[in-house]
Amino acid sequence: MRPFRFGVAMYVPGSRAEWMAKCRQAEDLGYDVVGVVDHLGRVAPIPALLLAAEATERIRLNTYVLNASFHNPVLLARDLAALDEFTGGRVEIGIGAGYVQAEFDAAGIDWGTPGRRFQRLVDVVTEVERAFTGRPRPPLLLGGRGDRMLTFAAAHADTIALTGTAPGAAEGRLALAGSAALADRAGFVKQVLDGRDAEVNLMVHFVRITDDRRAALEEAHELVPHLGVEELGALATVLAGSAEAVAEQLLRTRETLGASYFTVLEDDLTRLAPVIEKLR
């Protein structure tokens, strides 16, 4: 069974000093990976990760995840190769197909069909693999929830990322998949891997370490009203309870879904720290 890894997805812009301090804090709290999202209005991933490398010593650096449609495949592969070189080989490359149409419109990029967005991702992965011909390629993370995306990830990725979301998230709302739907996606990943060993990542969307679990789940329900409090309490993407209880929940999730790498959002950076400490 794979050991746990923990990542944090950073996205809040700030000064150079603020950014470096956050990255150092993540390393000090025991996180394994600092990731940077790729959304308009947020911090730019590649320069942010280069600065994160300056601020830290051991933590891995991940694009979590690059929107393939935002980038020219050849130029992006060049930049990622340079980033890997300048960070001493600490980079992990995460790529996705993009899911917020408003961002495509704002950038003047054709939204197109799901098939076209998927092809753009394939083009980026192809160029990244070509750019590292003859030398070790950084670990590749590919994420999504559809059959086509997960099948491609199973063939190419070192890490397969499950979003834990449901249709509706694309419109900017936090729409979480229920337990059965998430188990179905994890089962599909296992099926298409067909025995190949790959790490499974899961995005955790809500973390509250507290003795009042019910109150935390009611807070989650306000953010995700389409799921009831009891449903949210059963979700692997919602962590609510004492540090001991959440640690036990993550152990169960690793056993049932095969996920050993968990990523939280920047807002939950400090919240998960006591759980990380227990699971070490």
* DSSP codes, 170-225: GGTS--BPPHHHHHHHHHHHHHHHTT---EEEEEE-EEEE-S-HHHHHHHHHHH-T
Domain ranges of the chain: 5-205+258-279
The pTM of this model reads 0.96
From first to last of its 280 residues, the chain has per-residue pLDDT tens of: 899 999 999 999 999 999 999 999 999 999 999 999 999 999 999 999 999 999 999 999 999 999 999 999 999 999 999 999 999 999 999 999 999 999 999 999 999 999 999 999 999 999 999 999 999 999 999 989 999 999 999 999 999 999 999 876 555 567 899 999 999 999 999 999 999 999 999 999 999 999 999 999 999 999 999 999 999 999 999 999 999 999 999 999 999 999 999 999 999 999 999 999 999 9
Look at residue 160 in the predicted model and tell me its pLDDT: 98
Start-to-end CA span in the chain (Å): 15
Map 51-111 to HEC letters.
HHHHHCCCCEEEECCEEHHHCCHHHHHHHHHHHHHHCCCCEEEEEECCCCHHHHHHHCCCC
In this structure, which topology does domain 5-205+258-279 adopt according to CATH? TIM Barrel (3.20.20)
Q: Do residues 189 and 183 touch, judged by C-beta distance below 8 A?
A: no
pLDDT of residue 172: 54
